[in-house]
Structure 1
Amino acid sequence: MELRQLRYFVAIVDHGSLSRAALVLHVAQPALTQQLRQLEDELGARLLHRSAQGVTSTDAGKLFYQHAQAILKQVADARAAVAQSTERPSGSVTLGLPHSISGALALPLLTAARARYPEITLQLTEEISGSLTEQLKSGRLNLAVLFDDGQLGQFNSVPLVEEDLMFICRPGSAFAPAGPAISLADALASTLILPAQQHGVRPRIEQTARGAGLALDKVIEINSIAILRSALLADIGATLLPVAPVRADIEAGTLAAWPVEHPAITRSVTLCSSRNIPLTNAAAAIGRLVRQVTEELCASGHWPGAALAG
């Protein structure tokens, strides 16, 4: 198996066509077809379905595509690590952010990276936290912001912030508390719109509830922040979330947030990298920048509900 075969295969999948991939790669289509056939023969599996409309991945092809992407990225990182200097780091860095964090961190980080490290190409990917963990394990991400659920021992991790979860719903809603805060028991008794159990804030809510001898009652599960926000605006229920993902709505008065008490719910936000794949100079520089931008956002109040860890 050769690296060029991996590059060819990834290009074919990305472009959905042998002919388009051949044009982009500047390779004759018969040669591309031959390399693909050799790869399939070596693997003993068909990777692509071919039709007049183009190509689509088989189940084996989808699995191999993920591994091929990770291998090609690690090869590129290895080359970049040799060529880079610590004074002027350059190259590509891929950072994963959970949906509920990107609203606070993504734009300030991109702006800071362009100003501080113009020779680094920073690629941000926004995913559910479970997907980010798998991509970081496989090497498809250099860095990821994850929530410390006690299971991050497989990664190098640096605590960033402790973030408060708030009770959020429409102002004047039947779900809205009467006072300036709401107890966890009353919050859990409401109709709550939350991510599924393995995603986002849900594990932390479940853990805090169990510690207080409480349980969730009525839950509507929605994993998309955008859809969850729409459900809140439609007054289908309330949620327990950090303020950052819906900050614009709270500032506009279309949503309102109340502190949760007895007990409060917080989550630990952590910057993680692989223990097995060394960081390039560029990735290490972006890691330092993430911490710096986080400190600035907390100091200025532009990451509401967050306090620096430690």
Structure 2
Amino acid sequence: MELRQLRYFVAIVDHGSLSRAATVLHVAQPALTQQLRQLEEELGAQLLHRSAQGVLSTDAGKVFYEHAQAILKQVADAKSAVTQSAERPSGSVTLGLPHSISGALALPLLSAARAQFPEITLQLTEELTGNLAEQLKSGRVNLAVLFDDGQLSPFVCTPLVEEELRFICRAGSSWAEGRTSVTLEQALAAQLILPGPQHGVRPRIESVARSAGLATANVIEINSIAILKSAILADMGATILPVAPVLAEIERGAMVALPIEQPAISRTVVLCGSKNIPLTNAGAAVSRLACQVAADLCHSHYWLGARLL
């Protein structure tokens, strides 16, 4: 198996056809077809379904595509680590952010990276927490912001902030009428709209509830932050989230966020890297910058509900 075969295969999948991939790669289509056939023979599996409309990955092809992407990224990172300067780091760095964190951290970090490290290409990807952990293990992302759930031993972790979760509902909703705070029991008794278990916030809520002898019930599960916000604005229920994803709605008075007491709920936000795949100079620079940006956001109170660790 050769690296060029991996590059060819990834290009075919990305462009959806052999002809378009051949044009982009500047390779004759018969040669591309031959390399793909050799790859499939070596793997003993069909990777692509071919049709007049283009190509689609088989189940085996989808699995191989993920690994091929990770391998090619690690090769590019290895080349970058050898050539780049520690004083002027350059190259590409991919940082994964959970949906509920990106609203607070993404734009400030991107702006800081462009100002301080113009030769670094910072790629931000927004994903479910579970997906980010898998991508970090495989090397598809260099860094990821995750939540300390006691299962981060495969990673090198740097604590960023302790982030408070609040009871959030539409302004004027009966769920918040006459209240300046709610107990956890009162919050769990409401019609809750929550992300699914694969989101980092949901396991934390379930864990704190169990410790208090309580449980969630009658939950509407919505995994899209945009749809979840629409459901809250329609007064279909309330949610338990950090403030950052709904900050704009709170600032314009469309939503309210009440502190939760007896007990309060918070989560530890950490920056993670792989223990097995070393960071390039560019990756290390972005890691340090992310810590500094998080600290600045806490000191300026821009990241509401977050306490610097």
User: Which stretch of structure 1 is more off in the superposition, 192-201 or 288-297?
Assistant: 192-201
**Matched AA of 2:125:** T
Aligned counterparts of 2:179 and 2:103: Cα–Cα separation in 1: 28
SS at match of 2:207: helix
Q: How does 1:109-188 map to 2 (within 5 A)?
A: 109-188=109-188
Q: How does 1:1-310 map to 2 (within 5 A)?
A: 1-309=1-309
SS at match of 1:164: strand
SS at match of 2:121: strand
Q: Which ranges of structure 1 fall in alignment gaps of 5 or more residues?
A: none
Q: CA deviation at 1:198?
A: 3.0
Q: Which ranges of structure 2 fall in alignment gaps of 5 or more residues?
A: none
User: Which stretch of structure 1 is more off in the superposition, 192-201 or 114-123?
Assistant: 192-201
Aligned counterparts of 1:87 and 1:267: Cα–Cα separation in 2: 35
Structure 2 contact 197–203 (Cα < 8 Å) conserved:
yes
Q: CA deviation at 1:177?
A: 4.5
SS at match of 1:118: coil
SS at match of 1:180: coil
Per-residue Cα deviation, 1:198-256 (whole angstroms, up to 9, x for no partner): 32211110111111111112211111111111110111000000000000000011111
Q: CA deviation at 1:62?
A: 0.3
**Matched AA of 1:255:** M
Aligned counterparts of 1:296 and 1:134: Cα–Cα separation in 2: 29
Q: How many matched pairs? A: 309
Aligned counterparts of 1:81 and 1:182: Cα–Cα separation in 2: 51
Q: CA deviation at 1:178?
A: 2.4
Q: CA deviation at 1:85?
A: 1.2
**Matched AA of 2:17:** S
TM-score by length of 2: 0.99
**Matched AA of 2:181:** A
Per-residue Cα deviation, 1:257-292 (whole angstroms, up to 9, x for no partner): 100000000000000000000000000000000000
SS at match of 1:165: strand
User: Which stretch of structure 1 is more off in the superposition, 208-217 or 73-82?
Assistant: 208-217
Structure 2 contact 128–198 (Cα < 8 Å) conserved:
no
Aligned counterparts of 1:129 and 1:165: Cα–Cα separation in 2: 17
Per-residue Cα deviation, 1:50-78 (whole angstroms, up to 9, x for no partner): 00100010000000000000000000000
Considering only aligned residues, what root-mean-square deviation do their CA atoms show, in Å? 0.7
TM-score by length of 1: 0.99
Aligned counterparts of 1:198 and 1:176: Cα–Cα separation in 2: 28
Aligned counterparts of 2:75 and 2:150: Cα–Cα separation in 1: 31
**Matched AA of 1:230:** S
User: Which stretch of structure 1 is more off in the superposition, 18-27 or 213-222?
Assistant: 213-222
Aligned counterparts of 1:292 and 1:171: Cα–Cα separation in 2: 34
Per-residue Cα deviation, 1:153-202 (whole angstroms, up to 9, x for no partner): 11000000000000000111122152210000000000100111232211
